[in-house]
Structure 1
Amino acid sequence: MTLATVTLASEARRDHLARQQERLAPVRGLERVVVWLDAAPPVDVPGTAVLHVPPAAEGMRLAAARNAGAAAALAAGATGVVLLDADCVPGPALLDRYASALRAHPGALLAGPVTYLREGDLVSTGTDLAARTAPHPARPSPPDGEVVVARPDEQVLFWSLSFATTAETWRRIGGFDEGYVGYGGEDTDFAMRAQAAGVPLAWVGGAHAYHQHHPVSSPPWQHLDDILRNGARFAERWGWWPMGGWLEAFAAAGAIERDGDGWRRTGRMPEA
């Protein structure tokens, strides 16, 4: 199994990217691809192939960037790809566990546990990540070395910040739908398309990723228009709206309202 990592990055996550790449750089035989999302030219990341997928008028092109990164990795000869967002650092066994799972389950979409680090919990190459391991409780976390095929209803628990597929399975799914622009929806759509293509989701015990803390808003007000636009695209294809918790929070604040089976802005926004 020849692995490659694909990482989406921007200036806002530059420090996170550096800490991630410090842990990946010593791995022999690993092809590393970084896809720069900002409009400004990309930074140099030693030891990696750096691609540039600038934003569209509506926002960052996350789906297109993942497709471009995977295409570059496969063209370089990778037989398996691990996609890891810039704000995630790999646990010491992440690549080994993904590689083993890809060999045992080549036709699956693989996802490892994610621990969300606390504010101020900075990561260096000497940080003992195992001592900080606390997988997010929303998703299964099998024992180390075990791979558990997800139930069909768990497909929507796929998160694109850390996952792996073989080259053949990536092509079978067809990559991400590049019609999703800006924040939200493209990862759930990818999971649903995988399921429709007969590709099961599987949980990989021990493939731990650690999400480095950064400020977020909940719900993400800065992405309201993206969520409405991408949610409508998703609903047109699958018959239901993703990101339901955020939509309900926007509605409770009076910013959106029901419009038939969908949602629309009310013209009101909560005070800061």
Structure 2
Amino acid sequence: MRTAVLTVASAARRAHLERQRAVLAEVAPDIARVEVFLDAAVPDGIRDADVRTLHVPPGPHGLRVGAGRNAAAAAAIAEGAELLVFLDVDCLPGPEVFARYADAAAAHPDALLAGPVTYLASVQRPAVADLPHLKRPHRARPALPAGETRVAEPDEYDLFWSLSFAVTPATWEHLGGFHDAYEGYGAEDTDLAWAARALGIPLVWTGGADAYHQWHPVESPPWRHLDDILRNGAAFHRRWGVWPMGGWLEAFAAAGAIERRGDAWVRV
């Protein structure tokens, strides 16, 4: 099964991208790779001669992560990929991630496949041989033994993250890719999962397809993304009738930054 790994990146994550490239060179040296840069221009000196490089510039409201992933998928499919593995720029691939996704795709070719993700600590810069010893999948999502899969329950689609997932081209075409309503931070991955559920596409938890999220500073709730969350949340509400990211919205409201007015959340 010809596999392509697809990554969207920006200058702000250059160090993460370089570590991801180094690990990919060890665990899957011959894999097809597509990188999409989301800045206003492709950063100088960042192109890799062995990688298909694309550019999807920002929209008026910020980086277009979903559009970048859609462009990467289109390029990989055009070049004959039989399995698309989407790997966030912050993530390092585990030694077995591509084999486990390929096995799961053979068993569930019509599914959206999701492997477990471990969040690394700030000091950790692991070698490939160390990755399996650091495996501590995030407790919010199912983490099955290697080689096992399980079809998600309908209420588990909200647990889908776009940090690491895989699909066959046929399933990607059925799904239609990421919706273009979202720019900047938030909601595009939940929207993709809800679209899959609405179309009857199974979400399959894939044991052993481990990825390792490299540390970067975060804040909770993410104040610098407040406007993105309100705008993208409203777009999600128009499509699905509910607001996503409810925990963050409630935290913003508790701090007095936003309030609920009818069906909308607005700044105070």
**Quick check: 2:41–2:55 contact (8 Å CA) kept in 1?**
no
What do residues 153-181 of structure 1 show as CA deviations (whole Å, max 9, x unaligned)?
00111000100000000000000001111
The structure 2 residue matched to 1:232, chosen from 231, 234, 237, is 234
Give the gaps of 5 or more residues in structure 2: none
Report the counterpart of residue 172 of structure 1 in structure 2: 174
Give, as a single letter, the amino acid of the residue that structure 1 aligns with 2:33. Answer: R
The structure 1 residue matched to 2:161, chosen from 159, 162, 168, is 159
CA distance in 2, matches of 1:45, 1:154: 37
- Report deviation, 1:22: 1.2
What do residues 208-235 of structure 1 show as CA deviations (whole Å, max 9, x unaligned)?
0000001011111111111101101111
Report the counterpart of residue 39 of structure 2 in structure 1: 38
1:129 alignment partner, SS class: helix
CA distance in 2, matches of 1:134, 1:154: 20
**Quick check: 1:64–1:176 contact (8 Å CA) kept in 2?**
yes
- Report deviation, 1:95: 0.5
Matched, 1:10 2:13: no
CA distance in 2, matches of 1:31, 1:56: 28
Give the gaps of 5 or more residues in structure 1: 267-272
CA distance in 2, matches of 1:41, 1:132: 33
CA distance in 1, matches of 2:42, 2:89: 17
CA distance in 1, matches of 2:42, 2:148: 42
* Equivalences for residues 14-163 of structure 1 within 5 A: 14-26=14-26, 27-42=28-43, 43-125=46-128, 127-163=129-165
What do residues 217-259 of structure 1 show as CA deviations (whole Å, max 9, x unaligned)?
1111111111101101111111111001110111111110001
CA distance in 1, matches of 2:72, 2:93: 18
1:136 alignment partner, SS class: coil
CA distance in 2, matches of 1:13, 1:211: 12
User: Normalising by the residue count of structure 2, what TM-score does the alignment of the two structures yield?
Assistant: 0.96
Give, as a single letter, the amino acid of the residue that structure 2 aligns with 1:181. Answer: E
Q: CA RMSD in A?
A: 1.1
Aligned length: 265
* Equivalences for residues 253-268 of structure 1 within 5 A: 253-266=255-268
CA distance in 2, matches of 1:46, 1:136: 34
Matched, 1:209 2:211: yes
Give, as a single letter, the amino acid of the residue that structure 2 aligns with 1:133. Answer: K
Identity %: 60
User: Normalising by the residue count of structure 1, what TM-score does the alignment of the two structures yield?
Assistant: 0.95
**Quick check: 1:117–1:210 contact (8 Å CA) kept in 2?**
yes
